[in-house]
Each structure stands twice: as structure tokens, then as C-alpha cells.
A and B are shown apart, each in its own frame.
Chain A
Amino acid sequence: MTKPLVPFSRRALMAGLGGALAMPAIRPAFGQAAPIKVGVLHSLSGTMAISETALRDTVLMMVEWINGRGGLLGRRVEAAVVDPASNWPLFAEKARELLQVAKVDVTFGCWTSVSRKSVLPVFEELNGLLFYPVQYEGEEQSRSIFYTGAAPNQQAIPAVEYLMGKDGGEAKRIALLGTDYVYPRTTNRILRGYLNSKGITDADIMEEYTPFGHSDWQGIVSRVKTFAAQGKKTAIVSTINGDANVPFYRELGNQGIKAEDIPCVAFSVGEEELAGIDARPLVGHLAAWNYFMSVQAPANTEFKNTWQAYIKNPRRVTNDPMEATLVGFKMWAQAVAQANSTAVDAVREAMYGQKVDAPCGYSLEMHRNHHLAKPVMIGEIQADGQFSIVSRTPTTIVAENWSPFIPENANRRRG
């Protein structure tokens, strides 16, 4: 149902020709209508730049793609890029600037939950539209936000279920390690509730938090070793975020923690993060996502080729939040075309039920709860930093953004 992405080379050729011959007529004709504006709200500096820069590039690639096939509603699409600099209050200011000054029709942005919480009131107040592409802790549903990443039941819970299953090594004790902010703490609260419901008591759960950018992991890793030496199979569940993962995995490797003995499943470690680590000592440790670069699907081949051509680096990797950005962008474009308008209320109505053949190899659908139904995949780290997919759900799973494992949600959950 979606047309293939236009390869970069043709666009480049066209732009080159246009420049060289100075013939404006060669550029795609977009008529006189004002362009459609797409806001990009990702940190391009500061601690999160490492992860978010690739998402900015993904949105720009998609803008180029849509203009290459004639724009949207016969109008050109233009990107308005701002840099909130990993500074959470600045996110809200920049969001306001995008909506009121640049007058964008839609915004793609945010990575950390704390930045999303910061912009949410702005988008609700000014009736904006935000596409949020990262897996998160749930416990939220705003009419102004479409969540294209995973909710806890689409990532965290299936991953722990896998660890407790036969293929995952039948873990009976779980060490929950995380970075100290809202996403890991909420996710671990949900996981604790889930583990308790499966008969794993609090005595068999260890929970530790470290600040962003933590680098001295020797104490924690040796405590995990002690925790594991209690006669029950142990596994690590990591919600460690950002570059703290590099020294963490190095310490795991140096202390000889093999995946055969204590497997570690991570929720925020993807291809991009592994690109900076020697992955050989980590073979067999796991990650749970809804997309891996190693997925075999025509839509994925196309995604990888387009991305590597756009970024002019044949070895550059793709990852899950990038895929979620692409899916969100395509859905928004389809919804605009269907509504024949970029008005937020019309687009929101048109979003429900939109489907996209995603690079993860499944057809994803946007539900009325503003979340996608997504497949869950578990991958094992390979020596080359890619993931070998060892388990995947046969169908997509509907998101439960209000987790049943948080007691306060009992009143909230209604049909």
C-alpha cells in the first residue's frame, strides 16, 4: 500500500542538474500553495545528542522522500529543526516556538520521558500534534501525542517472560539495573508487579539505580555476581540509558559474566549504542525491541538502503526508534492525504486505523489509544554488533499503556 522510497541518487541527480543548469523548471512543481511544515524537536547537543541526532536525520530523510514523490496535498513539505540541547525545560520553550512562531502542522520529537512530560502541556494547550518514537514506561495518553514506540507490555514484560521461559534459561532471580529517572523507575515498578504475580518474591529481586553517564560499575557488577550465587538461575534486566551502557558492558565482559550464566536483557541498547563497543565478549546478551536492523523483510531492505544512501555511509546502522519515526511519518502523511487537510483535529481522527507496512516486517495499525500494535522481538548480541532474532511474536500485540501491574490503574482501566 505504500510506494517504495525513492532512492537518494535520483534526488541528488535532480538537485545537481537544477543547480548546474540553473533551470528552476526541473524542480518538482508545487504550485503556489504555502508549504506544509514539519517540526523536528530532537536534542542535537548534550548527553542525548548521541541517540537523537539520528532521529533528526530520519525525519529529514522522510521529508525528502515525500517531496520526491510530489509532496503532500500538492504542497511542498518543509522541516523546521530546533535544538533543545538535552535540556528538559528548553524542550517546552522550543515546542512553543515551533507551534507559535514556525506554525508547524506536526512535530516529531523527544527521546527521554522527562522531555516528553515537559512538552506535553504545551502541545495540549496549543492543540499541536506530536509523534513520539521511543519505547517508554506507559502511564500516559494525550490526545495531542501519538506514541509510535513500545508500551511496557510490548517490550519489558515479554522480555522478562522470555528470560523465565525455557529458551531464556528459566531465570528465577532478577536483577533490575537502571538509570535514575522516570522511565526505569516506572518500568521496574511494573516489572516488580509482574514478577510478584508470577511467584517471584521481593527477596529474589534486586533493584539498583545509577546517575546518567555512570562509569564505575565494578561494585554493582560484583554485587550482581553475589546476588546470582544463591543457587537459583539469575538474569539481569537493564534499563540503563545513554552512554553509561558502554562502561557497564565493558565491566560485564571484564568480570567474565557470560550470557550462558547470567544473561542480561536491555531495553535501551540497540545497534547504534553497540556501534561504540567491542561486542565480542557480549555475544548472547539480549535486547528486546519491536524492530532490529537484521529483520529480513523487503520494507527493511528498502529502509536500510535509503538511510545509508541518505547519510552517505554504507555502514551506518538503523535502529528501533528510527523505524518508529519512519512509521509515524508515513502514517501522518497517509492521514493528511485521507483528511485532505493538515488541521490537527481532522488529522487526529484520520490517524485511527491507519496502517503501514513497516520495516519490522509486519503491518502496523494505529489504535484509538494513540499507540501502535507492534510485534515483540528478542535479539541476541552478535560479535559484529548486530542482533540475531531468537524470538518474535507471530502477530502484533495491542499496547496496554495503562499497566495492569500498577495498582492505581485498577479504576482507570475501562473497556
Chain B
Amino acid sequence: MTRALFLIVLLLAASLPAHAQDAFLDALAGLAGGFTQQAEAAERLGAGGDPRALPVLRALADGRLLKRPDNTLLIRADAGVTEAATGAAADAAGAEPVRINNRVRVALRGAIGRLALVSPDAAERAAAAEAVYRTRSAENIPLLEAALARESVPRIRDQMALALAASRLVAADATVQRQGIAALAGAGTEGARALLLEARNATPALGPEIDAALVSLDRVIAVKRAAETLYQGLSLGSVLLLAALGLAVTFGVMGVINMAHGEFVMLGAYATVVVQDACRGIPWLEPWSLPLAVPAAFLVAGLAGAMLERGLIRHLYGRPLETLLMTFGVGMILQQAVRLAFGAQNREVISPAWMMGTLELPGGLMVTQNRLWVIVFSLVVLGLTIAAIRFTRFGLEMRAVTQNRRIAATMGIRTGRVDALTFAFGSGIAGMAGVALSQIDNVSPNLGTGYIIDSFMVVVFGGVGSLAGTLVGALSLGVVNKLLEPYAGAVLAKVAVLVGLMLFIQRKPRGLFPQKGRAAG
């Protein structure tokens, strides 16, 4: 009732200035209706081409379109609230945001894409071309042809050409459709493959041509998929590497079976949480909270490691079983302590903008940014660890003590101090791993338990005492795991890797890179 009345009022109001506005205002009213009406209205506004429709549609998509009880639509922006129909300033009192669903969102994307194709802003045109590509309607063909003729940015031209091909594919005319097939075959994406398959189902007459296009397309996709699997394997491998590096020092170099290693990783993740909380509200510091967390995590976990070594472990050198049981107990104490201090709930860690979304590498390979940074970070940490052991005085003393404790002591090295520092160093690396893991896993008190077995696996596989072995071991286990996953599923792939590892250790008990010489004892 009120809606009808409102429509009439709107129509009356609209007929006063000019008739050209009727379509816009008429369609606009539909945005205040149910989901079906909203979707239809969005399509009409997109087809109408009225430039005033764009801000309204954008506001609706972003949840900034408000509705008064009398169905007047308002737009909320940073500058204030305006009426959608007239652009006049308005009062938002009593207005509620207009709700939409996925169906409306799809219609909005298409409509906004159509309208934004002529935008002066390059980023908007690129987004519009992408949206029109996904909407694919034969009605968009002339619009896209015109936009393509004007476009000068090559990247956007490519996207528009793709959108044009997708739109041609759903045209009624077979010759137009054939043009679309040829263009899409060169796109080399799974999205294009989906469009071609859809067209084959819809128009069986085009079957042979589409099948031919698919053959060449599938070749490109197969290569891409292999590259993707490799990337995922490297990414998993880099996580394993990070988790295992600290252990490669404490277990590999010192020979301490530290079951609390995972808890040091967890402490590093919680240090990240604390640093982020401290940085919150300081605008210039906030983007740097994650890099700042790295030294903080190193110090926190390193300090905990030093305390553990000086307080307990040093009394148990040469008694591996007792060390194992004691560190296991310490791990449980640390877990419970963190649970008491921070609560049993998972803690939210904010990812900075540069770690979200995907990055397109040359060749069209899409990689997720957070994983990419973890790979980079793991290699940096590995480099720093090697450098510290090779080139610093501490590293020299550490190697001396592990090779021959008594001679090192006679040379004036305080072996007890070196033990504590080495253990603290290994624990600190585990803490830095925690910073990276906080970005891809849940920060909870049991974060570490999931990584302890994997860490030992990597160190033993790579060869105890060899950092290069840890690197090769981690990356190869990651890649093998990801290669098996599509066939065996996530659970069975891991089981298969473990079984393979057991067989390998039977053949080569010292791992990939066994230590040579007297130190190997």
C-alpha cells in the first residue's frame, strides 16, 4: 500500500523536471523492495546507463544505503547523508541499512560493472571489466566494443577483451559465439574453461570447436596446476622449516630432546598478540606491529629457553629419557599458564593489508600473499641462523663446545654459558616461527602441539646436526605431502609421508645429510 503510494508520489515528482529521469527514479524505488525486486531494479539501473545510478548501487553494495520507514532511500558517505533520488542533504534518523542477499549482490556487480566501464579511473575500469566478465550477457557486447576501442591501458584491454569474449559466447548468433571461443581458448584460466563447458552444454552445435579449444586450454591449465602444487608444497615446507629450525639447534646441535619446543613456538605467537595489542590505537605504529613482533618473540621465547636450560635441563645432560619427560611436563605447564593468562579462547591476530589476498605472478599464476611472506620469512630466518653459527664469536664457541667440550673449556670458553645461550638461541628461533604461524594458524594455547612431531620428523629426516639437511628435508616433505594430497586426501597423505619416512630411516638412520668425522660420534 505505502509502497504503491510512494511510487506514485515519486513518479509525480519525477515527471515535473524531465521525462528522462523517470526510468532512473522508477528503478530506484525497487531497491527498497524485496530481494527479487532489488535484483531487478539493479539490473534496470545498470542497463539504463544513468550516471547517477552508480553511487546509489555502490552504496547498496557497501551497506551504506539506508531506508527510512517511508521507503525513502538515503546514502551515507563520509561527507554526510544525502537523499538517493535528489542528492539533497538528509537526516538519517530512524533509517536502517538496506539488506541484500547474494542474488542482489550478483546483480549489483553486473550493474556497477556496466556503469563503471566508462569511468575515468583506471582501477575502477579494471574492476568493471572483471565484473562484466563474470556477469557475461550478450547485451554488453556493444558496450564492451566501445570501451575496448577507447581503452589504452594494456592490462585493462586484456581484461575487457576477455569480458567481450565471454559475452560473445552467450550471444544468439553462432558466428559471434565462434569469435568468443577463440579468444577464451587463449585465456588459459580455469574460469575460461568453465565458460566454454557451459557454452557446450547450452549449444551442442558448437561442441567440436569447443572441444578443440579445450585441448589447448587444458595443456596450459595442467602446467599452471603443477606450478600451483609446487608452490603449496614449498609453502608447507617453509612452515615445517620454521618450526624445525629451532629444534635443529637445540636437538641437532646440543642433543637435547626438548618436547616443550612447540610451546616456545606458541609463546612467540602470543608475543605477537601482545605486541599487536600494544600497538593498537597508535596509527603510525600499527602497520609495523608484525615486524616489531619478530624481535619481541625472539626475546620472550629465548628468555624462557635460557631459564629452562639453566633451571632444569643442565641437571639432566646425558639422561635423554628424563629430559624428554621433564620437558614434556614443562610444555604442559606452559600451555596451562598461557591458558590462565590469556584465556582458553583463540586470540585474533590481525594480518596487515600487504599479507592479504593473492598476487598474480607473471604467467598468470596466482599465489596467496600470506603464504608467500611465510616462505620469504623462513628463508631469511634460515639465513640469519646460518650466519650466526658461521660468522659470529658465539657461533664459533657453540661449534667448539659441541665438537669437544673439554678442549673448549681448557681454551677458556665458559661452556655452561654457551650451553645456555645456544638453547636460548634455538628457543628464540622457535619464537620467531610463532610470529609467522600466527598468520596462518590459530593462536591458541595448544598451537605448539601440532608442530612438535613434524619438527622432529624434519630434523631426523634431514640429518641431525645439519641445517642444510633441515632445509632440504622440510621442503621435500612439504612438496611430497602436497603431491599426494589430491589422490589420498589430507589425512592419508600425511600417513603416507610418515610411513615413507619410517622406511627411509630404516635404510639411512642418519638422515639425508649425515654428519661426518669424529663429531658425529
Residues of A within 8 A of B (CB): 44-45, 47, 49-50, 53, 166-169, 180, 208-211, 213-216, 218-220, 222-223, 225-226, 228-232, 243, 246-247, 250-251, 253-256, 259-261, 263, 276-278, 281, 284, 286, 380, 382-383, 388, 390
Contact = CB atoms under 8 A, between A and B. Distances in A.
Contacts of B369: 254
B298 to A, nearest CB: 23
Interface string B235-260: 11001000000000000000000000
A312 to B, nearest CB: 14
Contact of B442 (A215, A284, A286, A388): A215
Contacts of B102: 167-169, 259-260, 263, 284, 286, 380, 390
Given A215-B441, A243-B444, A254-B357, A231 B103 contact: no
The size bracket of the interface on B is 35 or more
Interface stretch (B314-322, B485-493, B512-520): B485-493
A210 B490 contact: yes
B232 A219 contact: yes
Interface stretch (B46-54, B173-181, B345-353, B390-398): B345-353
A231 B194 CA distance: 4
Interface in B211-238: 225, 228-229, 232, 235-236
Contacts of B366: 255-256
Nearest to B131: A260
A246 B190 CA distance: 26
Contact of B63 (A213, A231, A250, A383): A383
A254 B358 contact: yes
B103 A167 contact: yes
Nearest to B355: A254
A-B residue pairs, 9 tightest by C-beta = A231-B197, A229-B190, A231-B198, A229-B194, A215-B441, A390-B101, A254-B368, A49-B344, A243-B442
Nearest to A390: B101
B280 to A, nearest CB: 14
A215 B103 contact: no
A213 B489 CA distance: 16
Contact of B490 (A214, A229, A380, A390): A214
B491 A255 contact: no
22 contacts: A44-B344, A53-B344, A53-B345, A169-B106, A210-B490, A215-B441, A218-B235, A219-B232, A219-B482, A219-B485, A219-B490, A223-B486, A229-B190, A231-B194, A231-B198, A231-B199, A246-B346, A246-B442, A256-B366, A260-B102, A284-B105, A380-B101
Given A231-B200, A247-B442, A209 B489 contact: yes
B69 interface: no
Interface string B433-453: 000000011101010001000
A267 B156 CA distance: 40
Interface string B97-118: 0010111011001000000000
Contacts of B109: 260
A228 B198 CA distance: 12
Contact of B371 (A218, A225, A246): A218
A256 B358 contact: yes
A263 B345 CA distance: 28
Contacts of A215: 440-442, 450
Contact of A45 (B35, B134, B339, B348): B339
Nearest to A259: B102
Contacts of A261: 134
B12 interface: no
B370 interface: yes
Interface in B310-336: none
Nearest to A166: B103
Most chain-A CB neighbours within 10 Å: which of B194, B198, B199, B201? B194
A228 B239 CA distance: 28
B196 interface: yes
B193 interface: yes
Given A231-B201, A246-B346, A390-B101, A211 B368 contact: no
Contacts of B482: 219
Contacts of B191: 229
Contacts of B239: 216
Contacts of A250: 351, 370, 440
B345 A167 contact: no
Contacts of A231: 193-201
A384 to B, nearest CB: 10
B103 A388 contact: no
Nearest to B446: A47
A282 to B, nearest CB: 12
Contacts of B351: 250, 278
A226 B103 contact: no
Interface in B340-387: 344-348, 350-351, 356-358, 366, 368-371
A250 B349 CA distance: 12
Nearest to A232: B198
B273 to A, nearest CB: 12
B422 to A, nearest CB: 30
A210 B350 contact: no
Given A222-B232, A231-B201, A390-B101, 6 more contacts: A218-B235, A243-B442, A243-B444, A247-B440, A254-B368, A277-B348
A211 B449 CA distance: 14
Contacts of B194: 228-231
Given A166-B103, A255-B368, A390 B193 contact: no
A376 to B, nearest CB: 16
Given A215-B440, A225-B190, A231-B197, A167 B490 contact: no
B436 to A, nearest CB: 12
The interface centre, meaning the residue of B200, B347, B350, B442 with most chain A CB atoms within 10 A of its CB, is B442
A278 B370 CA distance: 15
Given A169-B106, A211-B491, A256-B357, A243 B346 contact: yes
Nearest to B335: A45
A158 to B, nearest CB: 16
B368 A251 contact: yes
A276 B195 contact: no
A233 B101 CA distance: 17
Contacts of A254: 356-358, 368-370
A260 B106 contact: yes
A182 to B, nearest CB: 15
A44 B228 CA distance: 41
Nearest to B235: A218
Interface in B10-24: none
Contacts of A211: 490-491
Contact of B348 (A47, A276, A380): A276
Contacts of A255: 358, 366, 368
Interface in B460-499: 482, 485-486, 489-491
A246 B441 CA distance: 8
B490 A260 contact: no
Contacts of B229: 219
A276 B345 contact: yes
B504 to A, nearest CB: 22
B344 A45 contact: yes
B33 to A, nearest CB: 14
A232 to B, nearest CB: 7
A50 B200 contact: no
Contacts of B225: 226
A228 B190 CA distance: 9
A162 to B, nearest CB: 10
Contacts of A247: 440-442
Nearest to B232: A218
Contacts of B370: 250, 254
A260 B39 CA distance: 13
Contact of B228 (A167, A180, A222): A222
A220 B368 contact: no
B210 to A, nearest CB: 10
Best-buried of A209, A254, A256 by chain B (most CB within 10 Å) = A254
Contacts of B490: 208-211, 214, 216, 219-220
B468 to A, nearest CB: 25
